[in-house]
Amino acid sequence: MSSLDILADRYLNYLTFEKGLSKKTIESYSIDLSRYLQFLSRKKIKNIVDADTSLILKHLIALRDAGLGSRSCARHLVTLRGFYKFLVQEKVLEYDPARLIDLPKSGLKLPDVLSVAEIERLLKVPDTGTLLGKRNAAMLELLYAAGLRVSELVNVKFLDVNLEAGFVRVLGKGSKERVVPFGTHAKKKIEDYLNIARPVLLKDRQSRYLFVARAGKPMTRQGFWKLLKEYAQRSGIKKKITPHSIRHSFASHLLEGGADLRTVQVMLGHVDISTTQIYTHVAREHLRQIHAKYHPRG
């Protein structure tokens, strides 16, 4: 019996003899723990210390993708939270990684995400042989590369982008500023747009916004939504595609690639990928290295 199995048995015995839970409830907890331990085994995790918050989240997303309903996922999270709380109580762990994952009253709602292949299909749709196609391709690349909200994307200023360093400065919710790295794919698309399309679209006008529409004004959120809807239809992808689903895909792909949860939180400027409430300072150079290493288009 592995050390993980032993810990699971200790927890189930605790629920049986100290908490006095019913046989049916114990069976339910046992099934949930068994699925989690199987997941850890597939990930080559042999020590519970190595199972962090991001790994728990990946497991929950995998359950959702396997067809488990939101209520069942929520129940599964309850099991894992109880298990980890017990391990801290027994001093097996110093901290509880499951406590970082919130449980909404309506049940656990995990984000809809596109696969890496689907994202790449979508990014290839804009016709970069046209001026507007160059602009739209650059917008889509930056949206995914930096995990931006649509309101943040359309309000990016020309001076907010540092192409040499590969960063974009973003003003998020609550006027909180963050700096997010982006990869070479986005850099090339933005350079192409800036060198060829933007000067022609401006027609000798001046604009402080990076992505311009008519008369040098920024594109509206509604305008970008309309564009994305059109590109989604042309891509042939059956899933519902919104700017926010692309943002969720950015976060999920980084986590699936091995990035740690707190670093992704900093890049998002929000906690909606796991509804956690912890913010950690991470150096910009470290963010850039993490993005380059783990983002599919880094």
Please list the active-site residues. Answer: 149, 173, 244, 247, 270, 279
Q: Note the helical H segments in 90-207.
A: 116-123, 131-146, 150-154, 184-192, 198-202
CB 288 within 8 A of CB 167: yes
The token pair at 34 is: 């068994």
CA 148 from centroid of its chain's CA atoms: 11
Q: Are 80 and 98 in contact (CB under 8 A)?
A: yes
Closest to 114 in 3D by CA, of 230, 265, 256, 226 = 256
Residue 159: how many other CB atoms lie within 10 Å: 9
d(CA 217, CA 210): 10
CA distance 159 to 140: 19
